Structure 1
Amino acid sequence: MHLVLKDNQKSIGFKYAWNGIISVVRSERNFRIHLLVAIIAITAGLVMQLNQIEWLFIVVAIGSVLVTECVNSAIEKMLDYLNPEIHPKAKIVKDMSAGAVLLCSIMAVVIGLIVFIPKIVGI
């Protein structure tokens, strides 16, 4: 198997990956909401001068939510492409992928509370 690059491109995949990120930002309202919350969390972290370990947890939480939202959006778009009509089994798959985003978001909120509440209350 040979790797063939289109148009003599030097980078493999980065352009397509970046296009995917731009696409999800432009087309998915929930992703933009998650980005806004991430910016608020990062700003709060800078103001409250989080330490290295706290930043680690915040970055992993933010990244996890954004990744699951991207995967959820990709699953939804693929199912819509394969079968534009609502199918009960496709609905279950979409609900499960949305559930993954919800679980990840709840985890991120819990991490945020653990990190930020002591800073807010002065503990």
Structure 2
Amino acid sequence: MVRQLGELEKLVMDRVWSWDHPVAVREVLEDLQRDRVLAYTTVMTVMDNLHRKGVLTRQKDGRAYMYRPAQTREQHTAAFMSEVLAGSADREVTLLHFLEQIPPEEAARLRQALAGHAPDGSAQ
């Protein structure tokens, strides 16, 4: 199950997704501390929670863990959107309401993306 991320979880994941290498808690903490004061244990707890939720993977490196995203930001967002949609009583109506809310240029990009995929989800 993919859950919506909390405020601090989003901040941590924004950092982790922006880097192309495994990260330690200390690296994330130092980056976050440019904008706010946080304790090491707070960031460590958030990253441990994200690992338990399956959002981050980790591997032991000496005494510390090195963390990586389990999915790209886009994959995570798509999985969350799919879960939200699955919770709807009427998926078609929910999708139509969603389409009414997005800007026309995003709707055009969505049409273009759909045109490039076969009904089975594979690229044409």
TM range, normalised to the smaller chain?
Answer: under 0.3
Write 1 or 2 for the structure with the bigger share of helix: 1
Write 1 or 2 for the structure with the bigger share of strand: 2
Q: Which has the higher contact order (CA 8 A, sep 6+)?
A: 1
Given the two structures, how large is their TM-score scaled by the length of structure 1?
0.24
